[in-house]
Structure 1
Amino acid sequence: MDDRSLEASPDFIKLTLPPGEYHRYLGLSYSRTNHQASLYFSVYSHITFLEFMQQRRQRGLIHVSLSIFFQGAVWIMMLYMLFLYFQNNRDKVYLSYAAYLFFAMLYLGLKLESYLPLRSVFGDAQYLKLTLNEPLQFAMALSYNVFALHFLRIRKLKPWLYRLVFWVNVGYAVYGTLDFAYLYTTSDMATIQALFAPTRGVMLLMGLVLICVAGLTLKSPVVPYFIAGSLSFLIGNLLAIVSTVGYDFFPGLDLVGVSFTQIGIFVEILFFSLGIGKLIQISNREKEDINDAYIEQLLENEKLNQQINQELEQQVEARTNEVLRAHRELEESKASQIRSEYEKQLMESEMNSLRLQMNPHFIFNSLNSIRYFILKEDGDKAADYITSFAKLLRMILHHSKQKEIALEDELEALELYMMFEAERFSEKFNYEVIVEPDVDTRTIMVQPLIIQPFVENAIWHGLMHRKEAGRLIIKVSKLNSGEIRFIIEDNGVGRAKAAELKSKKHGGNKSYGLQITRSRLEAANRVNKGQAGFTVEDLYDSEGKPVGTRVILIVNIRQHESTYN
């Protein structure tokens, strides 16, 4: 007997028997599972054993060659999928398919351990290989489902199916783990086999659901490849199941059940590889479209950039012209402002000159009054008059140095003047100044001696010609934030009668006070662009007789921000 043949066949035992002797051998078997072992014993002579081994090698040649080819194809495809995974931004479709191929190779490799390198890993640990049988199948199913989810983009297109497959995968993982732990610790193979049919039913149903949903609802160009690959795998498994019950589809080839599973997976790999190639083609086309769109956008951006530059040049030119025009306008405005300022200074000088003209006019009239008392030889009144006149004169001289004074000071000087004149005419008239409540005399600024000429005119040309005592009323009211109104009203003889009398006390001299005041108001209007002015009204009784005069004076004012001291 050839010892090398025996070493290569662990199912044989070498016996040496002398001729003519009779021996009885008892075979005992031990199984960790609760299944009864089926043992068949045969005795071969040396020559018969060699013939048997030769036939066995010949029958298994196709099977072994197919297994080696399958293992090589799976290894190459798995490594290629890992390469694509790292090359294509870690797309999980490649990683999940590589995992599926890895578990498929482990599952089929355990069944072919006599011919493959897995024998060096597991050796003769038949029980360990038995307990890994179910978990590896569920690992294949789980990785297949994950591959289908990414390959068909189900999460985006069919969210409900994605959630269903996710929980089915959770069930696969839990069942595979519990199956391994239970069988390894209890050796209860009967329970595992009892669960074989329902678990395979779930796997088959899940596969059919994916195939039907993909074929009926999804419009992806990779769907035909997925359906063809999945059907190839299912057909290979069905052929493997049928062949295990003794049906030989290809007599003479001695193909076993695992061979049909290998063929089914190999065909599946071909279709899935074509589908993945289609995905890569679609991805490349999308990248090309994106690149074309990017290039087109760059060209469009270039055109837009040129257009924007042209518009910017036009805008810069327009802006430059605008700046130059604004500069010219500014220069013209400065020149105009200088002219306006110069004219304003001229008008203010004119106003100042007119204001200064009021001082000698007022002093002249006051000296005439003092002269009047002296001629009457009324020394006491002349002395009192001179005292009042001195006080009033100091106030007038102080105010004449200022462009504006507070209305409070203006009214104070006016009342002193009216008291001065009332004494002069022996209380021939009484006077009253009425200021409205909304007029703040401390903060309103007016030109000095702006009211006095009208009061003087009312006294000298109206009230002094009355036989009875007269009345002079001055009302002050505010029109708006920039104007104030004075009403000077007397019950004198009226303008017509005064013109006839031409009072001898004035010696027929012409009054310049109103002319100067009119000029001052006109100059103020030019400076302040205001509406200052006055109107004179004659008053009559019910019979048409003159009973006095009313002057309405509108004056420009400025509101002082702080309280006047």
Structure 2
Amino acid sequence: MLLDFHSEFYSWIRGGLFVLFLYHVIIYFQNRSKLYLYYSLYLLGLTIYLTKYVASEAFITFYNYSNFTIQFLAYAAYIAFARELLETRTHLIKWDRYFQIVFNTLLFLAVVFLLIHALFGYDFQIKAFTIFAPLLTSFMLVSFYIVIREIKDKFSVYFVVGSLVYVLLANISFLEIFIGEDIFISNGVQPMFFVYLGAILQSFIFSIIIGFIIKRIQDRSKNAEIRLAVKLKEMEELKMTALQSQMNPHFLFNSLNSINNFVLKNEVEKASDYITKFSRLMRVILNSSSSPTSTLSEELGILALYVKLEQMRVGGGFDYVVNVDNNLMLEGIKVPPLFLQPFIENAIWHGIMKQKGKKLIELTIKEKDNIVYCVVEDNGIGINKSKEISAMTQKKRFFGAKATENRIRILYQNKNVSIVTKDISTEKNKGTRVTISFPYIKV
């Protein structure tokens, strides 16, 4: 079986090498990595080199003319493959220059050997090859030693093992030039058997390496995605903090302005009471400001303190009613800190403040289909009337509200987040309704 190049053993190896060539060509065209291009060219050279013994006479004539040229081109592709695989430009900067020299030399010899055959014939090519083959083998053995010594990873080990297997077995076949083929035939094998065996073993080992490379690329991609997700989360938290820092000064300014108004009106007791309540509110806010989120239960507590302060500022006061769905676990709902305060503030100063008679703000919190709805409704003049009164007032109105909307969208990544403002005024009654909806996500 090992004497007949048409046997299944040799046919399977030739076919396997050609299939591997096609496979890596396809991979190259998919990702344009030179690693696969060089390896596919090397496999193509091996396949053509091993096809001589089963080819037609016309191909054999061509083969005899270009035999050594094909081998040199295949070895050049192998050198280029090794440089890409081992990243010698990075890990073996000095020795990589020798790889480049040998690569260029092999391309040069590929052309020279065509001229040698044209001028002196095939036999002279064989004699010339016996000079260069040992030199090339010696260079590769030294290179393997340097690779193992300098690049200490599994890729370099597998690469050297696979290469040594082929080099050693190919040199056994190369002995045919010196000792003849009779000693091989008498032992039941063709001299080229060792080249075939070395080629398939090397290809098997190199395929393992490429499999590791694909897995490493996938792992790097996953790690990059994880790192990107972490960075994006950090960015979102920074955005949340920045928007929160925008809103808090806005609220502080309004509160300090109220204290100033009490002082100017010489209402000392009210100013003192206001400062006491204000300090309590500030303490609670500062305690919650260390986190970009809080629970809805905590927010309602802070909001109650805020409303008490505002009730002191509004002439005649106003009623504040909170309705909460009994099925809701407020401690388990995550929200941005002070996210409702701007909407209550708008309801007070741009709604009920300009309304005569009884003033009412009603906050309703309910859940439906895993969506939380926070509805702020007032019996003020209505948003449409407020817009008519002053464009400047409207601009101020939406400063805190817009910042809060952005914070909610960032927290829930724009998923099922909605803020709808509606004028609910009729002929008899006036008012505005703001509905804030977001996913029901438990802490």
| Alignment TM-score, normalising by the size of structure 2 | 0.53
Distance 1:105 1:261 in 2: 11
Cα offset for 1:246?
4.0
Distance 2:209 2:154 in 1: 8
Cα offset for 1:63?
5.5
Matched, 1:187 2:146: no
Q: Secondary structure at the match of 1:210?
A: helix
Aligned position for 2:40:
98
1:156 to 87, 90, 95: 90
Distance 1:226 1:59 in 2: 28
Greater per-residue helix proportion: 2
Instruction: Write out per-residue CA displacement over residues 172-201 of structure 1, whole angstroms, 9 at most, x where no aligned residue.
Output: 1111112113312x2344543332232112
Aligned position for 1:491:
none
8 Å Cα contact 2:28/2:36 also seen in 1: yes
Distance 1:177 1:296 in 2: 55
Cα offset for 1:280?
1.2
Q: Which residue identity is paired with 1:81?
A: H
Aligned position for 1:67:
10
Aligned counterparts, 1:56-455, within 5 A: 60-61=3-4, 64-87=7-30, 89-113=31-55, 119=56, 123-124=57-58, 126-184=60-118, 186-242=119-175, 245-246=180-181, 254-318=188-252
Q: Which residue identity is paired with 1:192?
A: Q
Cα offset for 1:62?
7.0
Cα gap change, 1:311/1:248 in structure 2, threshold over 3 Å: closer, same or farther? farther
Cα offset for 1:140?
1.2
Distance 1:265 1:155 in 2: 27
Q: Secondary structure at the match of 1:317?
A: helix
Distance 2:169 2:42 in 1: 16
8 Å Cα contact 1:70/1:266 also seen in 2: yes
Identity of aligned residues (%): 19
Cα gap change, 1:313/1:249 in structure 2, threshold over 3 Å: closer, same or farther? farther
Q: Which residue identity is paired with 2:37?
A: L
Moved more, 259-268 or 74-83: 74-83
Distance 2:242 2:185 in 1: 77
8 Å Cα contact 1:222/1:275 also seen in 2: yes
Query: Structure 1: any 5+ residue segments left out of the alignment?
Result: 1-57, 114-118, 332-565
Q: Which residue identity is paired with 2:26?
A: F
Distance 2:138 2:11 in 1: 32
Q: Secondary structure at the match of 2:58?
A: coil
Distance 2:126 2:182 in 1: 22
Cα gap change, 1:250/1:135 in structure 2, threshold over 3 Å: closer, same or farther? closer
Cα gap change, 1:321/1:111 in structure 2, threshold over 3 Å: closer, same or farther? farther
Q: Which residue identity is paired with 1:239?
A: I
Q: RMSD between aligned alpha carbons?
A: 2.9
Aligned counterparts, 1:32-47, within 5 A: none
Cα offset for 1:312?
2.2
8 Å Cα contact 2:86/2:156 also seen in 1: yes
Q: How many residues align?
A: 261
Q: Which residue identity is paired with 1:230?
A: S
Instruction: Write out per-residue CA displacement over residues 17-72 of structure 1, whole angstroms, 9 at most, x where no aligned residue.
Output: xxxxxxxxxxxxxxxxxxxxxxxxxxxxxxxxxxxxxxxxx775575222210121
Cα gap change, 1:125/1:71 in structure 2, threshold over 3 Å: closer, same or farther? closer
Cα offset for 1:240?
1.4
Q: Which has the larger radius of gyration?
A: 1
8 Å Cα contact 1:234/1:264 also seen in 2: yes
| Alignment TM-score, normalising by the size of structure 1 | 0.42
8 Å Cα contact 1:66/1:259 also seen in 2: no
Cα gap change, 1:319/1:111 in structure 2, threshold over 3 Å: closer, same or farther? farther
Q: Secondary structure at the match of 1:257?
A: coil
